[in-house]
A and B are shown apart, each in its own frame.
Chain A
Amino acid sequence: MKRLSWFNAVSLTLGFAFLYIPMVILVIFSFNESKLVTVWAGFSTKWYGELMQNEAFLNAAWVTIKVAVFSSTIATVLGTIAAYVLVRGGRFMGRTLFSGMIYAPLVMPEVITGLSLLLLFIGIGLDRGVFTIVLAHTTFAMCYVSVVVSSRLVTFDRSLEEAALDLGCSASEAFRLVTLPIIAPAVISGWLLAFTLSLDDLVIASFTSGPSATTLPIKIFSAVRLGVSPEINALSTIMIAIVTVGVITASLVTKRQVAKQKREEMEAVRN
């Protein structure tokens, strides 16, 4: 392998610096003693302490997690069914409309999705709160799940399912015992994607939440509008840490799985 040319080395260094320096600064200044975010006044963890005492933030965090768990779980079930129906369902009436409705939310501006759902909830007289946010998040997240799962379904060998059916499995047994284990990694990454999208969403949640339910992004947004604050830096640091640990763990697990699979294949060949 030839060495990296200086041009590539420079563009990669600058590029990754651009991606990571803002977050590094954010993390460093969450440990700043001073209330001024841009002037360093010594190391301190007091903003984390204040954050832990801030009832409003803690409540919002709790609401956000609840919404994310419920919506991503329902979205994973619905999205997997939708993917299965699209890839394996054959022809049925209104299939084009169905696949259109799966893909459209992916490119729909959030302001439009949020506005339209709010108008629906008002139209049918549904009180806005945790429930309506869950409905809204489930709707757009199931489309992401369905795209992730169907890309796995397309590539996998259909004869495995057919073999199971030939050997006397019912359709639901074939799905449970053969299809589901094979697409499981895609279903899990779909769930993770849905979960993060829900945690992250500001716009749709703002439209569909009521006074009784404020999510963390809504809280952060209204605080940040007034300017930077060390407390928000501390909160951001916690969130960045969780995501980093999560992503690295996930990639290590998949790496190990791939290695294991390869080893098993090698052994099978040898035997």
Chain B
Amino acid sequence: MRRYFLIAIPYVWLLALFLVPFVIVLKISLSDAAIARPPYFPQFDWAEGIRAFFAELDFENFIFLTEDDLYWKAYLSSLKIALISTFLTLLVGYPMAYGMARTPEEWRPTLMMLVILPFWTSFLIRVYAWMGILSNEGFLNQFLLWTGIISEPLTILNTNSAVYIGIVYTYLPFMILPVYSALERLDGSLIEAAEDLGCSRLSAFWLVTIPLSKNGIIAGSFLVFIPVLGEFVIPSLLGGSNTLMIGKVLWEEFFSNRDWPVASAVAVILLLLLVIPIVLFQRNQQKQQEAEQ
């Protein structure tokens, strides 16, 4: 009896505040926008019965999403931005993780703390820091003008490049940590063996180190890709008006256009988009766990 009571507390909480809200989103995505409070139709009404209520629901909003190419473009461009920035994060994060795994053992906890520290600092502040660096009269342009590499300030803020920089910067710890933990466990004698058997250093790296850190790379990539897909803060602060990301579209649909049914439909599709990478990620984690046991 006590046991069920214990289970019930978090269970009921999550049902009420996670699952039910979700069902509501699904329901509203099938409703029509209306000039009312709240601004959608049909409202649930016990008097009319469940049948009449369901008869009013339809897929109109989803059809609307496929017809208006703004949404298509936003989904595709979110995917593109998430893919490219995951790759860039790997490109920056891998050498760092590799370097960390090669430092003397007594340095590693400190380096580890230095990687984690920014993660505890406010996300918003870290994104904000780049606004002063990337703007037309910002530090990057001042520096480049001073060195004479460029003669005209570059426009970086409010473009997609700024979004990439912001994503790589804020999500770097998520890439470094899993890759580092894979590389740290790697047995150095394997690389020595490869080199003894005639591999060049580069091909030993390519043929031994990379495959053995594969799990870390995959985990890190998913940890970056999944949250970036629905990212809102970075595109809205660093991106420009032509930076299309689905998180931003949903926000504007809701707060600016006040079209709740369309915003809900956008949310449902975003979720469907996320199911595939999440399932793949879960499977990868499970495989890894089984391999370890």
Known A22-B126, A115-B250; contact A9-B99, beta-carbon cutoff 8 A: yes
A78–B21 touching, CB < 8 Å: no
Known A38-B132, A119-B24, A236-B122; contact A112-B99, beta-carbon cutoff 8 A: no
Q: Number of A residues whose C-beta is below 8 Å from B?
A: 79
CB neighbors of A among B114-155 (8 A):
114-118, 120-126, 128-133, 135, 137-139, 142
Among A38, A112, A202, A203, the residue within 8 A (CB) of B267 is A112
Binary CB contact string for chain A from 1 to 38 against chain B (1 if under 8 A, 0 otherwise): 10011011101100110111011011001000000011
| Segment with Cβ contacts to A, from B9-17, B59-67, B209-217 | B9-17
CB neighbors of B among A160-177 (8 A):
171
Among B18, B93, B113, B250, the residue within 8 A (CB) of A111 is B250
Cα distance A7–B251 in the bound complex, in angstroms:
44
A38–B138 touching, CB < 8 Å: yes
Known A26-B132, A117-B17, A119-B260; contact A225-B237, beta-carbon cutoff 8 A: yes
A139–B264 touching, CB < 8 Å: no
Cα distance A25–B14 in the bound complex, in angstroms:
42
B15 to chain A, nearest CB (A): 7
Known A116-B21, A228-B131; contact A38-B137, beta-carbon cutoff 8 A: yes
Report if A155 contacts B (CB, 8 A).
Answer: no
A24 to chain B, nearest CB (A): 9
Instruction: Identify whether the interface residues of A are mostly helix, strand, loop, or mixed.
Output: helix
Cα distance A25–B113 in the bound complex, in angstroms:
21
Known A38-B132, A109-B227, A112-B230; contact A135-B17, beta-carbon cutoff 8 A: yes
Contact residues of A with B, CB < 8 Å?
Answer: 1, 4-5, 7-9, 11-12, 15-16, 18-20, 22-23, 25-26, 29, 37-38, 78-79, 81-82, 84-85, 89, 92, 94, 98, 101-102, 104-105, 107-112, 115-117, 119-120, 122-123, 135-136, 138-139, 142, 146, 171, 196, 199-200, 202-203, 207, 217, 220-221, 224-225, 227-228, 232-233, 236, 239-240, 243-244, 246-248, 251, 255
Q: Which 3 A-B pairs have the closest CB atoms?
A: A109-B230, A116-B21, A11-B95
Contact residues of B with A, CB < 8 Å?
Answer: 2-4, 6-7, 9-11, 13-15, 17-22, 24-25, 28, 38, 92-93, 95-96, 98-100, 102-105, 109, 111, 113-118, 120-126, 128-133, 135, 137-139, 142, 169, 172, 226-227, 229-233, 236-237, 247, 250-251, 254, 260, 263-264, 267, 270-271, 274, 278, 281
